[in-house]
Amino acid sequence: MNKNAEHTEQLISLYGGSTPVRSRWTYRASEPFTVTAAFQTDRDRWVEWIFARDLLVAGLIGPTGEGDVRLSPEHTEGRASIILEIESPEGHALLEMEYEAVERFLTATAKLVPIGKESDFFDVDALIEEITNV
């Protein structure tokens, strides 16, 4: 397994049910517990959120999350989606993502690091070195 392996995918989200938002989702085998979601703002800036991959997996099944990141599957008019709610002191956003797109992203991440096997790929020594070399 290549610890430098990475998967990045573009997902189009909907903000407020109508406005498309480009997002870039990244998973790195060297950081097996987390995913990074970057959202393009109207000022052409990218705002990043880092959260547990397990949270994204759980969001496919049912409502999950506390605090700044919450996910919930939704089925309306024969369409499946994932609702992502993110909150910070600077603002709040409710985004709708295509269920199948999120599922495809997670499948690709599981090819890099199987779900439930993250600790087998986590480099504790590298983390200790990073913390102590500050």
pLDDT at 110 over 70: yes
The CATH code of the domain that includes 58 is: 2.30.31.20
Greater confidence (123 vs 117) lies with 117
pLDDT digits (tens, 9 = 90+) for 50-91: 999 999 999 999 999 988 999 999 988 888 999 999 998 878
pLDDT digits (tens, 9 = 90+) for 15-52: 666 778 888 999 998 889 999 999 887 777 888 999 99
- The region that residue 116 occupies, defined by phi over 0 for left and psi between -120 and 50 for alpha, beta otherwise, is left
- 92 in any annotated domain: yes
Q: Report residue 134's pLDDT band, with 50, 70 and 90 as the boundaries.
A: low
- First vs last C-alpha separation in the chain: 28
Q: What residues form DSSP beta bridges with 24? A: 10, 38
Structure tokens that stand for 80 in this block? 């499946």
Mean pLDDT, residues 112-134 taken together? 75
- 16 in any annotated domain: yes
Domain that holds residue 61: 6-132
pTM here?
0.81
Greater confidence (87 vs 119) lies with 87
CA 31 to chain centre: 13
- 93 in any annotated domain: yes
Mean pLDDT, residues 90-113 taken together? 90
Position 123 scores a pLDDT of 65
- 1 in any annotated domain: no
How many domains does the chain divide into? 1
Position 69 scores a pLDDT of 94
Residue 107, CA distances (Å) to 36, 41, 110 in order:
16, 27, 5
Greater confidence (9 vs 105) lies with 105
